[in-house]
Amino acid sequence: MVKFKKDSMSRVVAFGEIMLRLSTERHLRFSQSTAFSATYGGGEFNVSVSLANYGINAEFVTRLPENEIGFSALQEIRKMNVDSKNIIFGGERLGIYFLETGAGMRGSNVVYDRAQSSMATIQKGNIDWDIVLEGAEWFHWSGITSAISESAAEACLEAIKVAHKKGITISCDLNYRSKLWQYGKTPSEVMPEMLKYSNVILGDIDTAYFMLGIPKVNPNYQDEKTLPAQYDKLFELIPNLKVVATTLRYSVSASHQRIGGILYDGKVIYSADVKEVTPVVDRVGSGDAFMGGLIYGLLQYQNNNQRTLDFAVAACCLKHTIAGDYNLATLKEVENRIDGDGSALVSR
């Protein structure tokens, strides 16, 4: 059984970009919209919000523009009870993403407007990671930061190396976004060096193979006889890997998802029953909810990998019922979902 550092005040530091989210209302198409709902979101920040909701000391590190939009984003971070003390300012603009929310047979669509954002133009050396990571138990990053620009990838690698040197547990959500890898390098040229220090990885087996530059496979996640060998290849290529998890998502329609999960610790395959999630209120951020649940479970349920996986899947399912990027489900709500109370009765 893999052991992770734990205490009642575990400190988890996440690094990435927070963006302004402009989404269409009432499932309108972009061409129909005369107004957009303005909120905030971003993969690593979404994970931080989940952890803060569960009582973990969560800190988010990013770079914001020194203008009213950047200050508003900072206010949002603080509003979600996420530590912001090591956020830096610089650059010209906050990244934006536009979301057209699908329904039924029509899927959702995302358009990014984050080129030359404050995070995209961050440079190695802008953040003193020795100071930021002092006393932290966990550092979280994702493939999104590696994709937005070469300098952002270099800054993230700098943080990863410092975290590794300090003996801090490092997690990564692979988060492949084909629309973002536009700066002349492929994931297989960037990600292997970053992943080799990671201890916990969330992602599909085929995505992991692709990012590591090895021939892709078509895994059958229901076949627990062949899965270990396919996951073991990741353990061979990523020397510090301790746990790998995969979100199982079967999309019936934009309004109906089936969610399950796999966790492998190098010895045992753990699986979670697939849950029906319908109707879907907002799918965006559900993978981040899984990641937040995974980190929480590995910190708190150290002798129970099955409970950890069940917690991550339950958190992911609940996020589908919540509008916006963040999973605002409480610890009690997630635990009740695991323990069988899925009745959705009014709490009186």
Q: Which residues contact 116 (CB under 8 A, 6 or more apart)?
A: 91, 92, 93
State the pTM of this model.
0.94
Write down the domain spans for the chain. Answer: 11-330
Asked if the bond preceding 192 is cis, omega within 30° of 0, the reply is no
Pick one of 3.30.70.20, 3.40.1190.20, 3.30.360.10, 3.30.930.10 as the CATH number of 11-330: 3.40.1190.20
CA distance 348 to 346: 6
What is the average per-residue pLDDT within 159-182? 96
pLDDT digits (tens, 9 = 90+) for 316-334: 999 999 999 999 999 999 9
Specify burial of residue 147 (Cβ count, 10 A radius: 0-12, 13-18, 19+): buried
Residues 232/202, Cβ–Cβ less than 8 Å:
no
Mode of pairing for the β-strands spanning 11-15 and 138-142: parallel
Q: Which residues contact 40 (CB under 8 A, 6 or more apart)?
A: 18, 19, 20, 21, 73, 76, 325
pLDDT score, position 1: 42
Least confident of 39-53, 67-81, 102-116, 133-147: 102-116
CA distance 57 to 112: 30
Residues 50/292, Cβ–Cβ less than 8 Å:
yes
Question: Dihedral angle at the C-alpha atoms of 314, 316, 317, 319, nearest 10 degrees?
Answer: 120
pLDDT at 347 over 60: no
Sign of the CA dihedral with 325 first, then 308, 56, and 291 last:
negative
Residue 179's identity, in one-letter code, is: K
Span between the terminal Cα atoms of the chain, in Å: 40
Concatenating the DSSP letter of every residue in 286-332 gives HHHHHHHHHHHHHHH-TT-HHHHHHHHHHHHHHHTTSSSSS----HH
pLDDT score, position 303: 86
Mean of per-residue pLDDT scores for the chain? 94
Q: What are 157's two structure tokens?
A: 């690698």
Give the CA diameter of the chain: 56
Number of H helices, E strands in the chain: 11, 14
CA distance 294 to 2: 14
pLDDT digits (tens, 9 = 90+) for 7-34: 546 899 999 999 999 999 988 999 999 9
pLDDT score, position 348: 38
Q: What are 5's two structure tokens?
A: 């550092």
Residues 231/244, Cβ–Cβ less than 8 Å:
yes
Residue 346: pLDDT band with limits 50, 70, 90: very low
Q: What are 152's two structure tokens?
A: 């952002």
Residue 26's identity, in one-letter code, is: R
pLDDT digits (tens, 9 = 90+) for 237-296: 999 999 999 999 999 999 999 999 999 999 999 999 999 999 999 999 999 999 999 999
pLDDT digits (tens, 9 = 90+) for 73-114: 999 999 999 999 999 999 999 999 999 988 888 888 999 999
